[in-house]
Amino acid sequence: LSTILLRLWKWVRTFWFKNGLLTLSMLSVVAGCLLGFLLRTLELSELEKQYFSFPGELLMRMLKMLILPLITSSLMSGLATMDSKACGKMGVITITYYLWTTFIAVTVGIILVVIIHPGAAAQKDNYTVGKVVLSSADALLDLIRNMFPSNLVEASFQQYRTVLVPVVKSHGFPKVPGKPVNFIYFAPDDQNPEIHRPVFLELTPSPEMTYRTLAGTSNEMNVLGIVIFSATIGLLLGKMGERGAPLVNVCQCLNEAVMKIVSMAVWYFPFGIVFLIAGKILEMEDPTVIGQKLGLYAITVVAGLALHGIIILPLLFVIITKKNPFAFIQGILQALLIALATSSSSATLPITLKCLLENNGIDRRVARFVLPVGATINMDGTALYEAVAAIFIAQVNEYELDLGKIITISITASAASIGAAGIPQSGLATMVIVLTSVGLPTEDITLIIAVDWALDRLRTMTNVLGDALAAGIIAHICKKDF
């Protein structure tokens, strides 16, 4: 009996050392869902929900704290220690692979939404929330501006974003006794209190309204600009040879220190995940009403993400590497759970890098390059979601889409996903580009907001999975160059 107990203890200890953190993370996801739905019955106040979600907020803050030093140090040190020819080859293969998988994801989404036709089961509300949105040209220009930040310090916590400011031109009608008078009030905008939105009362007739664009910012890290700058510095440091060695050593030391912080912080993650997921469930609307309106749409998106993430991407991995993709995926399950909890591919980046290096044995130089670039431009799940959402909105409005418009949606969804920052619900912002490209009403984005918080987590998992599998594929292709 003692021998059996000793063997059992050794097995439990071995299992705990290998899979203890992963097991805790999986249990925390389940516990967070159960706790969230249980607490919904108590009808907590907004302040109580905020206090309850505090441990989850700490998890997000910890992860975001590590993004900037990890991206800069990993890209600079990784590219500086690589041969310029090998680096160029790896860069071309990485970008090409990312573009192809994004296009495949969009195609899968379009095929499913056309076959299932979820718009037939959905109904528009009698009211719409009128909100002025940027044109696709302004959104595209913002993307290009963010590629070249004017201030690197500001890029660490802000992005450039064009804002629209209303200009009201009064008709100057004289006041007539017994007739209502035009009153125009300006109320602070919810997202940016410095900008005031007009509110009209008793308009007879409505005044003339125009909008002008102004330079603005959003409180989100400009990951794209930081990646481009860091990659450029890394390439130049490699060409400088011995003169650039001191800075390369600093970057390598910083990268190792950040990874040690990640190794310590991961033990807090299961605790934080419980409150992060439960807090989001407390904030969502009535799931019964949402299911009746958007159930078929959500099923379409989930089916597309599952088909792309479970079948297509692993199949590409098998064809190129001749290895078992699910054994590889098992090594990154911790990162996928963090992606599910945080809905941010950028915040998941430290965990993804740790999993690839420690569990899957990916070359450090490949992982340091492929993952930051992928977290910025490889958004397969977002591209699929935007294509499905655009066609869903067209179906709800009974808007006929010919082949040319479907091709336009596929191209703009692929391009817009590249501009989607790796932050929660960033796909809603870039959705404007896709809708305006085929003349769909941009205010109908409000139709899908109710389920976006949940779908955002699933598409983030797909994005992170795509980045990790890409690192494995590119490490296999380029292994002879190192």
Query: For the chain, what are the domain ranges?
Result: 21-67+83-149+259-481, 159-218
pTM (two decimals): 0.76
Q: Which residue has the higher pLDDT, 431 or 462?
A: 462
Pick from 186, 177, 183, 174: nearest CA to 203: 183
Q: What are phi and psi of 255, to 5 degrees?
A: -65, -45
SS3 167: strand
d(CA 31, CA 277): 9
Residue 458 has pLDDT above 60, yes or no: yes
How many residues are there in the chain? 482
Handedness of CA 402, 403, 407, 413 (dihedral sign): positive
Degrees, nearest 5: CA angle 337-340-342: 105
Residue 319 is predicted with a pLDDT of 94
The string of pLDDT tens digits covering residues 90-144 is: 888 998 999 899 999 999 999 999 999 888 766 555 444 444 556 667 777 877 8
For 92, how many CA atoms within 13 A lie in the half-sphere containing its CB?
6
End-to-end CA distance of the chain: 52
Residue 199 has pLDDT above 60, yes or no: no
Question: In which element (H, E) is residue 208 found?
Answer: strand 208-218
d(CA 223, CA 232): 14
Q: How does DSSP assign 331-396, residue by residue?
A: TTHHHHHHHHHH--HHHHHHHHHHHHHHTS---HHHHHHHHHHHHHH--HHHHHHHHHHHHHHHHH
Confidence of residue 198 (pLDDT cuts 50, 70, 90): low
Give the list of residues 6+ apart from residue 77 with CB closer than 8 angstroms, or none: 234, 248, 251, 252, 255, 368
Confidence of residue 296 (pLDDT cuts 50, 70, 90): confident
The string of pLDDT tens digits covering residues 352-394 is: 999 999 899 998 888 888 988 888 788 888 889 889 988 998 8
d(CA 425, CA 160): 17
| Lowest-confidence region among 48-52, 122-126, 158-162, 290-294 | 122-126
Residue 325 has pLDDT above 50, yes or no: yes
d(CA 186, CA 199): 6
Handedness of CA 297, 100, 142, 404 (dihedral sign): negative
Percent of the chain at pLDDT above 70?
83
- What beta strand segments (E) does 46-191 contain? 159-169, 183-188
Cα distances (Å, whole numbers) of residue 189 to 96, 211, 448: 41, 15, 22
Pick from 293, 287, 286: nearest CA to 119: 293
Question: In which element (H, E) is residue 196 found?
Answer: strand 196-201
| 352 close to 422: Cβ distance less than 8 angstroms | no
d(CA 358, CA 121): 47
The string of pLDDT tens digits covering residues 229-249 is: 888 898 888 888 889 889 989
d(CA 45, CA 286): 16
Q: Quick one: CATH architecture of 21-67+83-149+259-481?
A: Orthogonal Bundle (1.10)
Q: Which residues pair with 197 in a beta bridge?
A: 187
Residue 169 has pLDDT above 80, yes or no: no
Q: Which residue has the higher pLDDT, 182 or 95?
A: 95
d(CA 482, CA 468): 19
| 145 close to 158: Cβ distance less than 8 angstroms | no
